[in-house]
Amino acid sequence: MDLSDKNQLPQKNRHYSDSFRYAFEGVKTTFQEERNMRTHALAGVIALLLGLFLSLSIAEWLWIVLSSFLVFVMEILNTVIENLVDLVTKEYHPLAKKVKDMAAGAVLSTTIFAVVTGLLIFAPKIIQLFF
């Protein structure tokens, strides 16, 4: 592509509807292509159902929703990073592995945060049901 011709340059989305459409397409693609995203979504649905059953307070809901969405966002970013690395090199490179491992580590760290948050909120309520 000849960048001197301004007609060939990528253009910003002209309408908000285009921006939303492309964003939803990105989320949809992540769900379709990433097994871990589907697993995180299932965990989020379980947390939602458990929260409804246990009648969480507004503050507890905020923590559950925040942690769930943080995991989703980190999984999307991890997928972006993995795809970019694969775009740059198809061959094994130690730096490419390092970047992918670090991105996966960010998802793992966020998932641990979500699990700890869930335990702090749900465990006392579940224990109270049985004792």
Q: Is 25 a catalytic residue?
A: no
Q: Cα(2)–Cα(29) distance, rounded to whole angstroms?
A: 30
Measured over the CA atoms of residue 106, residue 109, residue 110 and residue 111, the dihedral's sign is positive
Selecting among 34, 75, 82, 91, the annotated active-site residue is: 75
Decide: helix, strand or coil at residue 32.
helix
Among the listed residues 76, 86, 85, 100, the one whose alpha carbon sits nearest the alpha carbon of residue 23: 76
Q: Any idea what DSSP says for residue 6?
A: G
Cβ proximity of 38 and 31 under 8 Å: yes
Catalytic residues, by residue number, are 75
